[in-house]
Amino acid sequence: MIESATFHVMTTELVVGSFALAGLCFVLHSFLIFQNKDSKFMPMMDTTAHIALLFGLLALPFAILSGINSSPSGAHTSPLLANKMLLSTAGGGLALGVLYARWKMHSDGFSQHIHNAFGSISTGCMLLTASLGGTYTRADSLTEFLPFVKENTLLLPKWMSIAVIVLIIAALVLRRSSTVKHG
């Protein structure tokens, strides 16, 4: 039987690889739009970014769950692990939003740069999460210049988290219903 820690390494590599590819393609896509030249690479970058993002997103739950299982005491016992969990869910949320927007709202005239920026920030969150994993297991990573991420966690009270969830869901529902024109 494969150990959680080993499985976590495998799934993390899938997530990081996919997100890194997606992030690179988002940036290049914006770069090509910025150049304002008709290029065959433009749709290629856009498609690759979203497919890679989707693949990374599919592997993400496995990475999060195996990560929680491979920590003997749980994510709540270390600020670094807590930050990993919060960053990965933030990145996952952004990725999910980017994919949903691309699927359902692609032709609404919204700035492609902002869309790509969200995709790139999602990649940034995932790479930072992976780097924190390096700090946790190897005491060494590329983000050693960010000491506050290792020592502090901005933890909200339960009621505030619930309020945020309710507020956003309500906003999404209201937004959806307001799109139906009456009269």
Partner 1 sequence: MKRKLVLLITLSLLIPLHVSGNPGGVGNGLENMQCGGACHGDANQNATSNLQLSLQPSGTVWIGQPAEITVQISGFESHNVDQIGIFLLSSTNANGDIPTTDGWSILSDGMGGSNNYIEYASIDSAVLTHSWILRADEIGEKMLYVSVHHGDNSGSDAGNPFFGISQAFAITVEPIPENLQRINPEYEPPTSREIGESTKLCLETIAAGNVIIEWREPSGQAYQLETTQNNECWEAELPAALTTSTIEWRAVLEGEGPQQTTPWFSLVSAEPTWEADETALLLQSIAHLVLFFGLVLLVRKPKPRDSEFKDYLEENI
| Residues near partner 1 (CB under 8 A) | 74-79, 82, 85-86, 89-94, 96-98, 100-101, 105, 108-110, 114, 118, 137-140, 153, 155-158, 160-162, 164-165, 168-169, 171-172, 175, 178-181
CB of 135 to partner 1, least distance (A): 8
| CA distances from residue 39 to 32, 42, 109, 110, 152 in whole angstroms, order as listed | 8, 6, 20, 20, 45
Rg value, the chain, Cα: 18
**Rounded CA gap, 112 and 157, in Å?**
35
CB of 95 to partner 1, least distance (A): 9
- Please say which residue, 38 or 154, places its beta carbon nearer to partner 1: 154
- Please say which residue, 47 or 111, places its beta carbon nearer to partner 1: 111
Within 8 A by CB and 6+ apart from 90, the residues are 125
Query: What 3-state DSSP class applies to 78?
Result: coil
CB of 2 to partner 1, least distance (A): 11
CB of 171 to partner 1, least distance (A): 6
